[in-house]
Amino acid sequence: MQRVRRLGRRLRATPTAVEVHHGRGPGSQGDVLFAGPLPPAPTGIATYDRAVLEGLDRIGFTDRVRMETLWPVGTQDAGRFPGYHLGVFQLGNNVEFHLEIYRAAYLTSALVVLHDLALDDFVRGLKAAGEPLGYMAAREAGRLCDELTDPDVIRNEPLREPWCAHVVRRARGVIVHSDFGRRYLAGFGVRTPVFVVPHPAIEGPEAFSTAAPRGRELRASAGDPPFLVVAPGDMNEAKQLDALVRSASVLGTGSHVAIVGRRIEGYEPEAAIEAAGAAGQVSVHADVSDADFLAWLAAADAVVDLRFPHRGEVSGSLSRAMQAGVPSVVSATGTYLDVPDDTVLRVAPGPTDVSELAHVLARLRDDAALRSQLGAAAARHAEHLRTREATARGYERAITETLALVRDPGRKAMAIWGKSLVDAGITEDMVAQGFGMEYARALRSFEPGPEVAASQRNFERSP
């Protein structure tokens, strides 16, 4: 009960909820600052952050590490960032939600969580606002874009330039949600420690059984079709909804497609529905409540979650569909390739071929055993991640190891040494030949032995 109350206090935190101690040293306010959107902010990252914080509470991490949560983040909060040993900063592709968080990553030791590998719209937004960090990020991206040669990256325009490079290379650690993210960062030479932490299970174990009665009502409102396909999440062009609408026409009567989620400015699915003559087979349900969003997933026979261009994100909607035990059709690209093969069906990467998508959906429509097999495997995978607290344990490791780096005085000395070598014109090839290495070897002689290191760790864990 105490953990629940503590979590409630953090989730209600506002910029004035934590006293600002100006002029105090690192760690004077706490070990860790967690900054990112929280409900009711209209972004999927808000529900993600809530799930992460709940998981850290469940495993007792917040009993061992002093952690404060900050949302919203404003310009007035800059004075508090140096008061923490480490900031865990959630970064997405939306300037509205992440501008001040991005700035904060430059004011304290940062463990950056990348929700989109491509921060293209974000960096452009920084530049449009005249923010110097935007120009610095754009220069870094332009300088490194030739390093990226993976065909799957080149196929997706937002990933061709590593817009995240500047903040990632400055950070002390990076969290990504799939191995594709780790490979992408390695592709342009990132040496910052990278932690692959799976997307959390957003819903509790009873969420979809609770949603089932409302799901039956929603299914009936769509004509109670024999085969109901749901396309969940933000309504945008990258979700390949135009192709899905045209595939609904190919499937013919007996199937219905429900497009469910937040309406995004600049894209109207109704235009595609009208052009395809599919008004009787496709319905749009915009800006529904969280309860109805879950109910549509509970009602679905199949989910379609496509991406082109892909931005390296991991789909929260797909995570929920897997929890619901619904078979999903995804694009064979990026992070979707890291999803277990027995839990989804894939269509070719790039712009979705209408005939291929219609064929895959017809296969699911006509094969109830296949739907059951895929859905059961997806549910088992999601439940395995949930019950072993994979996300919370991943965050625990990432925070603990990054804190150890930040607290290591030898690391700071080595950073100063490395900068001095750069200023003196020493290249990596020259270091490999031994230039400047005597100082580094001397520093290593000051490292404590195993017994001293163990004693120090025990001291740091003590109250």
Q: What are the domain boundaries of the chain? A: 2-201+393-406, 207-370, 410-456
Contact 7, 34 (CB under 8 A): no
CB 115 within 8 A of CB 93: yes
The answer, yes or no, to whether residue 333 has pLDDT greater than 90, is: yes
Going 220 to 221 to 227 to 233, the CA torsion angle's sign is negative
| CATH number for the domain formed by residue range(s) 207-370 | 3.40.50.2000
Beta bridge partners of 69: 34
What DSSP element (H or E) covers 174?
strand 173-176
Task: Please give the Cα distance from 365 to 131 (Å, whole number).
Answer: 51
Which pLDDT value is given to residue 7? Answer: 41
Does the pLDDT at position 463 exceed 70?
Answer: no
Q: Measure the CA–CA gap between 328 and 104, rounded to whole angstroms.
A: 38
Q: Which residues fall within 8 angstroms of residue 298, CB to CB, at 6 or more apart?
A: 208, 211, 212, 214, 215, 324
The conformation of residue 188, written as its DSSP 8-state character, comes to T
How many whole angstroms separate alpha carbon 11 and alpha carbon 38?
7
Cβ–Cβ under 8 Å, residues 207 and 293: no
Tokens for 405, please give them. 């780096």
Q: Give 433's pLDDT tier (boundaries 50, 70, 90).
A: confident
Q: Give the orientation angle of helix 409-423 with respect to helix 390-407, to 10 degrees.
A: 70
227's torsion region: left (phi>0), alpha (psi -120 to 50) or beta?
beta
Q: What is the mean pLDDT of residues 276-287?
A: 94
CA distance linking residue 294 with residue 202, whole number of Å = 11
Residues 124-174: tens digit of each pLDDT: 999 998 999 999 999 999 999 999 999 999 999 999 999 999 999 999 999
Chain CA centroid to CA 367, Å: 33
Kindly indicate the confidence band of residue 22, based on its pLDDT and cuts at 50, 70 and 90.
very low
Question: Which of the 8 DSSP states describes residue 401?
Answer: H
Average pLDDT over residues 274-294: 94
CATH of domain 2-201+393-406: 3.40.50
Average pLDDT, the chain: 87
Burial class of 393 by CB neighbour count within 10 A (0 to 12, 13 to 18, 19+): middle
State how far the alpha carbon of 373 is from the alpha carbons of 317, 344, 377, in Å: 20, 10, 6
Average pLDDT over residues 417-428: 71
pLDDT at 9 over 70: no
Please give the Cα distance from 111 to 204 (Å, whole number).
27
Which 8-state DSSP code applies to residue 203? S
**pLDDT band (50, 70, 90) for residue 412:** low
Fold agreement between 2-201+393-406 and 207-370? yes
Return the pLDDT at 407. Answer: 83
